[in-house]
Amino acid sequence: MGTAPNTVKNNNILSPPRPCVRYAFYMTSTTAKPRRSNGLAGPAAKGVDRVLISKTRLQRRVKELAAELSAEYAEGEVVCVGALNGVICFLADLVREMDIPAPVELVHVDRFIDERGHTVEMPNPFRESLRGRDVLIVEDIVDTGVTLKLLVDKVLAENPASVKVCTLLDKPAHREVDVQIDYVGFSIDPVFVVGYGLDYEGFYRNLPFVGVVDSAVWPPALLERPKFDS
Ligand code: 5GP
């Protein structure tokens, strides 16, 4: 049987095929699609002002955090608790880089902003029992700290063996509540960020990088806050 053109004749199946003349023509022809040099060219990123943390930096940092966590819990396992929806990308990537048993427990947190300020509630209980287990709360971003404080209190009420916190992003400038964070991916300035799970009005979660939306009104509910006469 003859060999197909442009296949590599060795035993290393990972070797890429050598470029052929047709391929070289395609790359230089005017019909080739423009490359997305900064990740902002596609429609999914419309409205994003700049990339703050690139996909490459995210991947590298997630691997570093996963290695540290795998070493920390090397003797056993750790239950990773995350609040939907913002944590989806970070949590999925983090646990896949960890080489220890890491069951995942996802919860919903409701946020309200009214005249009394920023309050959060966790409407449903944990489905996994956390009693006597090592728990890692995985957060997408810690801003005021109110959400993290609620999660820590809810986990502690289950009598775990230990509780630690890992967040991808930390915005210490906005902190209102004192919370301890054990692992931080990136400490950032008080800008509004989207991407890699974080949204603005439901969009941008699927961006592979973290970007900044300068025009974002945050928190959005502030727009609906009732006005009182003094
Ligand atoms: P905290 O309770 O710490 O004020 O806020 C935590 C939650 O607010 C996060 O889980 C996230 O949903 C939201 N949040 C805070 N800062 C940002 C931000 O810059 N971008 C986005 N998309 N969400 C944020």
- Binned at pLDDT 50, 70 and 90, residue 113 comes out as confident
Ligand 1 center from residue 141 Cα (angstroms): 6
Q: Is the peptide bond before 85 cis (omega within 30 degrees of 0)?
A: yes
Pocket test for ligand 1, best of 89, 106, 143, 203 (most atoms within 8 A of CB): 143
For residue range 186-226, list pLDDT tens digits in order.
999 999 999 999 999 999 999 999 999 998 887 665 444 44
Tell me which residue of 92, 154, 94 sits closest to 123, measured CA to CA.
154
Single pTM value for the model: 0.82
pLDDT attached to residue 217: 80
* Residue pointed to by tokens 């609040």: 83
Residue 193 to residue 214: CA distance in whole angstroms: 9
Residue 113 to residue 81: CA distance in whole angstroms: 24
| Residue 217: count of CB within 10 angstroms of its CB | 12
